[in-house]
């Protein structure tokens, strides 16, 4: 489904001059990225032990505050992926979208913001790939909208989860632990010797079991409002799935939609409010789900489910 969503051109996303400009810029990004991915790196100039801090500083200079490092997940790769085996690190980062541009989603304005976010994410992928090459490391930059032939190697959301940046929500999409769900994900594979990050469980996946707010506002009713109590009682994460056919049909005809992103209770006008809500979820999760005695857990969970 992610591949289909990436390659179609929904109605209302290639109409205005601004939309057309972003699409042209994205094509140029893909061309540039293909050239970088096929280039030999320069001689190493950084001490490998300093590379993570160097990457952090570089991303911060380009406005990126959230990144992590993970392995490639074999069952979260596209079938014909041909990534070199020596590129065993995946740097994942997130780019927040603009709340004020998404208030009337789905609309031409929100569709333009989605394209702008893809363009910005693509810019960082290109710049980070060049930065790593300049410092002597091989790369495979992954544009969020695929390569020049619209081919994808990896599924972005599960790798962002594995890199410790967030969790999978009821929408089936990624929810960042800092910005909430309204983000775009970028990634670069590399052989730079970076330590792997671990998944971080703040209870958002479990909270999505009880919330179901996004399902209420999904125009094509593609998001399930089913509860998953047994999975949570067994201590497992919920692998939320949506009705892909319903989603895509609406997505194609209505400005690339995005209604579920904006209507999530963790989408707020400012980061401070997002953080406050995430802290509340984490407190509930630690007290009543993760650490509470079974009898207390069941009683408490029955009250909030």
Give per-residue pLDDT as tens, 170-189: 999 999 999 999 999 999 99
Would you say residue 127 has pLDDT above 70? yes
pLDDT at 1: 52
Average pLDDT over residues 148-172: 93
**pLDDT for 295:** 61
8-state DSSP, 254: T
Query: pLDDT confidence of 112, banded at 50, 70, 90?
Result: very high
How many Å separate Cα 274 from the centre of its chain?
A: 16
Check if the beta carbon of residue 39 is closer than 8 Å to that of residue 140.
no
Contacts of 199 (CB under 8 A, 6+ apart): 161, 162, 164
Question: How much is the pLDDT for 148?
Answer: 82
pTM: 0.91
Looking at residue 293, its pLDDT comes to 52
Residue 155 scores a pLDDT above 60: yes
Query: For the chain, what percent of residues have pLDDT higher than 90?
Result: 76
Which segments within the chain are labelled E, that is strand?
A: 67-70, 89-96, 139-142, 166-168, 174-176, 183-190
Q: How confident is the model at residue 7 (pLDDT cuts 50, 70, 90)?
A: low
State the Cα–Cα distance between residues 82 and 189, nearest whole angstrom: 12
Burial 237-257 (b: 16+ CB within 10 A, else e): ebebebbeeebbebbbebbbb
Instruction: State mean pLDDT over 233-254.
Output: 91
Mean local confidence (pLDDT), 118-135: 97
The answer on pLDDT for 107 being more than 70 is: yes
pLDDT at 76 over 60: yes
Task: Give DSSP secondary structure letters for 187-242.
Answer: EEEE---PPPP-----SHHHHHHHH-HHHHH-TT--B-----HHHHHTT------B
Cα separation of 93 and 68, whole Å? 6
Tally of helices (H runs) and strands (E runs) in the chain: 12, 6
- Span 263-298, pLDDT tens digits: 999 999 999 999 999 999 999 898 877 776 556 555
pLDDT for position 268: 96
């Amino acid at each position: 489904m992610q591949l289909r969503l990436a390659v179609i051109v929904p109605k209302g996303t290639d109409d205005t001059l601004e939309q057309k400009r972003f699409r042209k810029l994205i094509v140029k990004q893909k061309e540039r990225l293909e050239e970088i991915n096929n280039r030999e790196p320069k001689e190493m100039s950084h001490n490998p032990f300093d590379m993570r801090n160097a990457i952090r500083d570089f991303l911060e200079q380009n406005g990126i505050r959230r990144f992590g490092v993970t392995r490639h997940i074999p069952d979260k790769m596209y079938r014909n992926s041909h990534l070199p085996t020596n590129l065993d690190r995946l740097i994942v980062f997130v780019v927040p979208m603009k709340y004020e541009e998404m208030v009337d989603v789905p609309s031409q304005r929100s569709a333009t913001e989605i394209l702008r976010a893809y363009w910005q994410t693509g810019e960082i992928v290109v710049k980070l790939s060049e930065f790593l090459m300049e410092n002597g490391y091989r790369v495979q930059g992954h544009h969020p909208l695929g390569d020049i032939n619209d081919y994808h190697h990896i599924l972005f959301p599960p790798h962002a989860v594995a890199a410790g940046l967030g969790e999978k929500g009821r929408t089936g999409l990624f929810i960042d632990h800092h910005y909430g769900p309204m983000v775009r994900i970028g990634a670069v594979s590399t052989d730079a010797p970076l330590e792997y990050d671990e998944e971080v469980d703040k209870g958002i996946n479990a909270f999505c079991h009880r919330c179901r707010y996004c399902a209420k506002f999904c125009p094509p009713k593609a998001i399930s409002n089913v509860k998953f109590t047994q999975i949570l009682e067994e201590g497992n994460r919920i692998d939320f799935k949506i009705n892909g056919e319903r989603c895509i049909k609406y997505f194609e005809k209505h400005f690339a939609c995005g209604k579920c992103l904006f209507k999530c209770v963790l989408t707020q006008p400012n980061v401070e409010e997002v953080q406050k809500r995430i802290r509340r979820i984490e407190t509930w999760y630690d007290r009543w789900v993760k650490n509470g005695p079974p009898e207390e857990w069941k009683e408490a969970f029955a009250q909030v489910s």
